Structure 1
Amino acid sequence: MNNAQDYRVLYVEDELEIRTRYSLYLKRFFKDVYEADDGVKAYEIYKQKRPDILVIDINIPNLNGIELLRKIRKNDHNTKAIMLTAHSDKNSLLESMDLRLTKYLIKPVSRETLKSALDSATAELIKFNIFSKKILSLKDSYHWDNDSKELFCNNLPIALTKNEKELFHLLCLKPNSTVSYENITYELWPEDINDKYSAIKTLVKGLRKKLPEDTLENIRSTGYKLKTV
């Protein structure tokens, strides 16, 4: 499991024997392994420790696995998640489809199967971390610094509002790919506001005035795409 020692895992399982056995296994690979036996405790640990990977059993008390991950996903779409369930539940699988799972595993889960899922999660993290550190080059001597969240033209900073920065950063995480309206509203306005689509349109209109022409492309009825050089 390459570079696993750089990452932290939160393992949520209410059965003590299983949790103890697999926590010991996880500690062989990862920097830190946090444990919780219910969804409420898990959410508190998540907020305090900010793990990189979540391994969650669906059938945990107080806040089930899907409810827990849905709560986390309101503001966090980058932490990797592996969901475990004791049986093939089509309804649970459908419910979890929009939660950006790395893997959905049916219990009992062998160590080899879990390791394969964790390998996928760490590979996604490595790819994301390498990409997120890059400077993105745009047209006409513009570039975006992913670390500082700053836009430059000829190495001179261009002032952006807070929401303009957040939207542009989100688009820069997936250059030349469409970022959906739903993803944008999740990230910028986790709370309910009236007419989010008009709010996005207004924000994009302001951003376009500060960018080279045709940098932001509207994908009809879907979202927006950032075009890089």
Structure 2
Amino acid sequence: MNEKIETIKKLSKDIGILYVEDNQGLSKNMETLLSRIFDNVYVAYDGEQGYNEYIKHKPKIVITDVNMPIMSGFEMIKKIKALELECKIIILSAYDEKEDLYKALELGVFSYLHKPAKAPELVDAIYNATIAIQKDENSRIFLNQLQNIFNYQNNIVIMMHEDKFVLVNQRFNEFFGVESIDEFTKEHSNIDKLLLEHKEFLYTTPSSKWIDTAIKNPGKLFHTKIQNYKGEKRHLILKVREIPQKKKHYILSFDDVTELNLMTLFDVNASRDDENSKDKTAILSLLKVIKDNSAEIKIHNFYKGLTIINPAVIIDINENNFSLKTVNTQLKIVQITRFMTITSEIFPKDIVCKSIKNVDSDTQIIVIDDFSFASRSAADRKYTRLEPDLDHGCTLYYKNIKFPGETHIVDISEVSVKIKIDALPAGIEIGTTVKVAIFLKLKGKPMSFITLGKVYRIDENKYDYNIVLIYELDKKNLNNIREYLSNRQIELIREFKSTDINSPL
């Protein structure tokens, strides 16, 4: 009984209770008892007074006698039910004639107890009424939340309180092959094991539970893997929403995207030439998931190595292209480069947009029609690489012999330099060590250094070659190049802001 009383106390913070009894001695004792459990207790001594108290306070539970002066308990119940059908009425009566029981049933009375009721009986009735009120409230909240969520008719939708599932939709039951949440709970007592392990997906680890991670990141999209009742492992996108009206209540939505065949893309051992990376249908379907969940993406561009990143929203998707809306700064760089990369927390890889169909500055909308998954992430660039100013120079030496022809720095960082050369000397290959002399200007003053570099990559172009050299600078030169890059970033920001997109670069 004590456990039930504690449950009533926990759930009755916003639940008032009205006790109607014409015997003032009984009324006083009951008021003392109820006040130990409920924060808001109201008392009346006849049906008319009871009805007036109900109008004034709108308690969710009413305990009443039947035979009272001025207005009977049944008359009062009828009037209360006309106002609030869901009010839980408990009758305490010294009479238990069949006519009274039938009338109570007809009026929708929640419980009928014989007076004097024993304490356990009364506690049971109040406990059951409190639980029923909680379920009614959860159902109302659940239905209200569903109206605010896009395309949930095909999604698994769950209402959760703390770490327990309390309400689910029909799609949930179909996925797990159950008739109700109670049946599911019997089969899956530990929801921590519900999400299966998969690289870069959300699941429970020794250091964190999947549900705790999801709750701490409301609105974020997570990849998950869950097994259905057929034994199939399905790929679902999870989003968690907080319910403002109810503390520690959440709505979970699982969008099944298994048919996109994206799970293998998260395997680091998968080939970079995987056919799925070229599958426009898969990319467009993934973008639709983001659009339906009103989530943002980010656009990445480089202006002479300067990173420009801004958020964007997906406006439209069709079978051939998609449209994004972003800020004017990003529109400008896209118009200049006609190339961009977009990222999202749910992309298995970044999406490279190799062809921009249209950029509309008036509507701030970009239309992309040629795109694929990137082999490398836009976030992979650990070091800042910038195109130097025109007043620079470099010389390459191999076995102490100067490279013939012209050399030009394409970009430079604190650990590498990309150099364009007219021809590739014999013997130069990946892994070869060469000497490089670099000449720059830092705040108008000459800055130079000579270092050994190892050939990291060789790109053959139509008329020339690009060689990427990796080097390690001493402390002095490292500090100088870092200062140069910092100043160069500021120069490029100013240059980009002043660039007229209608003029040739």
Does TM, scored on the shorter chain, surpass 0.5? yes
Check if 1:44 corresponds to 2:47: no
Q: Which is richer in strand?
A: 2
Give the letter aligned to residue 40 of structure 1: E
Check if 1:6 corresponds to 2:9: no
The offset of 1:25, in angstroms, is 0.4
Mapping of residues 135-146 of structure 1, within 5 Å: 135=143, 144=147
Q: Which runs of 4+ in 1 moved over 3 A?
A: 152-155
Question: 8 Å contact 1:6–1:30 — kept in the other structure?
Answer: no
Aligned with 1:61: secondary structure? coil
Give the letter aligned to residue 105 of structure 1: L
The offset of 1:144, in angstroms, is 3.2
Give the letter aligned to residue 29 of structure 2: R
Residue by residue, what CA displacement relative to the aligned partner does 1:170-192 show, whole Å, maximum 9, x if unpaired?
xxxxx99xxxxxxxxxxxxxxxx
Residue from 94, 107, 111 that aligns with 1:86: 94
Aligned with 1:11: secondary structure? strand
Using the alignment, how far apart are the partners of 1:130 and 1:48 within structure 2?
A: 25
Which of structures 1 and 2 has the larger relative contact order (alpha carbons within 8 angstroms, sep 6+)? 1
Q: Normalised by the size of structure 2, how large is the TM-score?
A: 0.28
Give the letter aligned to residue 122 of structure 1: T
Q: Which is richer in helix?
A: 1
Residue from 82, 102, 107 that aligns with 1:99: 107
Residue from 115, 128, 142 that aligns with 2:123: 115
Using the alignment, how far apart are the partners of 1:88 and 1:44 within structure 2?
A: 27
Residue by residue, what CA displacement relative to the aligned partner does 1:120-143 show, whole Å, maximum 9, x if unpaired?
100001111111111369xxxxx5
Using the alignment, how far apart are the partners of 2:41 and 2:91 within structure 1?
A: 16
The offset of 1:6, in angstroms, is 3.1
Question: 8 Å contact 1:10–1:53 — kept in the other structure?
Answer: yes
Q: Normalised by the size of structure 1, how large is the TM-score?
A: 0.59
Residue by residue, what CA displacement relative to the aligned partner does 1:17-58 show, whole Å, maximum 9, x if unpaired?
111001100011112100000011111110010001000101
Using the alignment, how far apart are the partners of 2:26 and 2:128 within structure 1?
A: 22
Give the letter aligned to residue 101 of structure 1: V
The offset of 1:76, in angstroms, is 1.2
Gaps of 5+ in 2: 153-168, 171-505
Q: 1:20 matched to which residue of 2?
A: 28
Using the alignment, how far apart are the partners of 1:16 and 1:30 within structure 2?
A: 20
Using the alignment, how far apart are the partners of 1:115 and 1:72 within structure 2?
A: 23
Using the alignment, how far apart are the partners of 2:123 and 2:22 within structure 1?
A: 20
Mapping of residues 173-192 of structure 1, within 5 Å: none
Using the alignment, how far apart are the partners of 1:45 and 1:69 within structure 2?
A: 13
Gaps of 5+ in 1: 138-142, 146-151, 156-174, 177-229
Question: 8 Å contact 1:4–1:30 — kept in the other structure?
Answer: yes
Q: How many percent identity over aligned positions?
A: 29
Q: 2:502 matched to which residue of 1?
A: none
The offset of 1:87, in angstroms, is 2.0
Using the alignment, how far apart are the partners of 2:143 and 2:22 within structure 1?
A: 43
Residue from 129, 133, 149 that aligns with 1:125: 133
Q: 1:160 matched to which residue of 2?
A: none
Aligned with 2:117: secondary structure? coil
The offset of 1:153, in angstroms, is 7.6
Using the alignment, how far apart are the partners of 1:5 and 1:21 within structure 2?
A: 22
The offset of 1:75, in angstroms, is 2.5
Aligned with 1:29: secondary structure? coil
Using the alignment, how far apart are the partners of 1:9 and 1:111 within structure 2?
A: 17
Residue from 35, 40, 60 that aligns with 1:32: 40
Using the alignment, how far apart are the partners of 1:73 and 1:9 within structure 2?
A: 15
Q: Which has the larger radius of gyration?
A: 2
Using the alignment, how far apart are the partners of 1:13 and 1:119 within structure 2?
A: 21
